[in-house]
Amino acid sequence: MIIYDFLSELFGSPVLAAFIQSFIPLIFLIPFALFAVWLERKVSAFMQDRIGPNRVGAHGWLQTVADILKLIQKEDIVATNANKPLFNIAPVLVFAGSYLAFAAIPFSSAFIGSGIDLGLLFIVAASGFVVAGILMGGWASNNKYSLLGAVRSAAQVVSYEIPTVLVILSVVMLTGSLSLYELSEMQTSSFYNWVIFGGTAPTLQKILLIPFMFIGFIIIYISSLAEVNRTPFDIPEAESELVAGFHTEYSGMKFAMFFLAEYANMFAVSAIVSAIFLGGYQSPFGYLGNTIGWEWLVPIEQFFWFAAKGIFFVFVQMWLRWTLPRLRVDQLMALCWKYLIPIAFVNLLIIGIIVIL
C-alpha cells in the first residue's frame, strides 16, 4: 500500500505506478526460485546422505545460476507435429497463472500487489489459469505422455480445489473477509491471534475452534500440495511413468519457465496458507521496530516474517517430497473425494456452528 502511494506520487500517474508495481513480486520471485531450486537439491541430497551440488560457489549456491545460464543458451526445440502457437503460449500462460496469485498476496503491510477485497477468490480463480496452461502445453506437444500428464494434472487440480475452497470458506465464516490483506491485518500483535488459534474470537470460542482450525490447516496444506503437483501428488509429471509429464517436449527457456512457475507456485501456496492460518506477514510476537520506536522498520520486519513463513512451508513441501512415495491415481482421487472433502465439509459445518454460538 505504502509502496503504491509512493510510486503513484513519484510518477504522477496511477496507471504507470500500477504497471511498475506489478513487477515488484518478480524481484522477489526470481531470486527465490533460484534459491529454492538450490535448497531442494541440497535438502534432497542431505536426506539421502549425499552432498548435493558443491562445485559452483561455496556449497554450490551458484549452481542454479549456472543452470539458468545453460538453459538460456539451449536450443529451443519445437517438435514438428506440435501445435506451434499453443505450444509457445503454454509456458507463458502457466507462469502468468502462478504469477497472478502474487497480485493478491500481501508481502508486508507496505506492499500488496493489488488490495482487492476478493483476494482469496481471485487466487482460487487464478489457479484455474495454470490448469489451462498445463492442458494446453500437454495437448499441443502432441506426445502421449504429455497429454496423459496434462489430463491427470487437470483432474487433480480440479478435484483438490474443492477441499481448498471448503477450508477457505470456513475461515471466511470466522473472519468475514476475503481480502488477504485484511486477514493478515486481523491476525496482528501475537501468534495467539492467528486464525489457526481461532483468530480474534472470544476465548471460549477460541478454545472450541482450535482443533477444527488445525484440521482445516492440515486439509488445506495437503490439497495445496496437490494443486502444485508436488510429490506425493506428482502424478502429472511422474518421472518414472511419464518422462516429465506435460513438459516432456519443452527445452531451453520454455522449460525454465515451467520450472520457475513450479517454484513460484510452491511459494504462492505456502504464502496463502500462512496468510490464511498463520498470520501472513505478522510477527508471532511484537515488532522490534515498535519497541525501539523505529516505525519504518516494521514493514521490513513483516517482509522478513512473510518470507520466513513461506520458505519454511516450502521446506516442508520438500521434506514431504523426499519422504513419501507417489500416490497412485485411484489413491489420489480416493484421498480427495473420500477423505479430504467429507472431512472439510464436516469441519465447515462445525466451525459454522461454533461461530454462530
Q: Which of residues 234-273 bind another protein (CB under 8 A)?
A: none
Answer yes or no whether residue 166 interacts with another protein by CB under 8 A: no
Q: How far is the CB of 52 from another protein (least distance, A)?
A: 8
> Among 171, 348, 345, 349, which Cα is nearest to 275's?
171
Nearer to another protein, 304 or 339 (CB): 339
Answer yes or no whether residue 312 interacts with another protein by CB under 8 A: no
In the list 6, 14, 19, 50, the residue contacting another protein (rule: CB under 8 A) is 50
Answer yes or no whether residue 81 interacts with another protein by CB under 8 A: no
CA 287 to chain centre: 26
Q: Residue 107: helix, strand or coil by DSSP?
A: strand
Answer yes or no whether residue 339 interacts with another protein by CB under 8 A: yes
Answer yes or no whether residue 51 interacts with another protein by CB under 8 A: yes
How is residue 245 annotated by DSSP?
Answer: G
CB atoms within 10 A of CB 330: 8
In the list 33, 43, 268, 341, the residue contacting another protein (rule: CB under 8 A) is 43
Answer yes or no whether residue 337 interacts with another protein by CB under 8 A: no
> Among 230, 250, 244, 254, which Cα is nearest to 91's?
254
Q: How far is the CB of 323 from another protein (least distance, A)?
A: 4
CA distance 210 to 227: 25
Sequence letter at residue 161: E
Rg over CA atoms, the chain: 21
Which window, 30-38, 39-47, 60-68, 105-113, contacts another protein (CB under 8 A)? 39-47
- Find out whether 262 and 253 touch, Cβ atoms under 8 Å: no
Nearer to another protein, 50 or 74 (CB): 50
Nearer to another protein, 13 or 323 (CB): 323
- Find out whether 289 and 108 touch, Cβ atoms under 8 Å: no
- Find out whether 115 and 215 touch, Cβ atoms under 8 Å: no
Q: Which of residues 207-236 bind another protein (CB under 8 A)?
A: 218
In the list 19, 46, 304, 312, the residue contacting another protein (rule: CB under 8 A) is 46
> Among 100, 21, 71, 42, which Cα is nearest to 264's?
100
In the list 11, 191, 322, 345, the residue contacting another protein (rule: CB under 8 A) is 322
Q: How far is the CB of 180 from another protein (least distance, A)?
A: 28
Q: How many positions of this chain bind another protein (CB under 8 A)? A: 16
Answer yes or no whether residue 323 interacts with another protein by CB under 8 A: yes
Q: How far is the CB of 50 from another protein (least distance, A)?
A: 5
In the list 2, 26, 158, 324, the residue contacting another protein (rule: CB under 8 A) is 324
Long-range pairs, 152-157, Cβ under 8 A, ≥24: 152/235, 152/236, 152/245, 152/329, 153/229, 153/236, 153/237, 153/245, 153/246, 155/333, 156/226, 156/227, 156/229, 156/233, 156/235, 156/236, 156/332, 157/127, 157/128, 157/130, 157/131, 157/226, 157/227, 157/229
In the list 319, 328, 329, 337, the residue contacting another protein (rule: CB under 8 A) is 319
In the list 47, 89, 155, 311, the residue contacting another protein (rule: CB under 8 A) is 47
| Beta strand ranges found along 48-187 (DSSP E) | 106-108, 111-112
Nearer to another protein, 51 or 72 (CB): 51
CA distance 357 to 350: 11
Site residues for another protein per CB under 8 A: 43, 45-51, 218, 319-320, 322-324, 339, 343
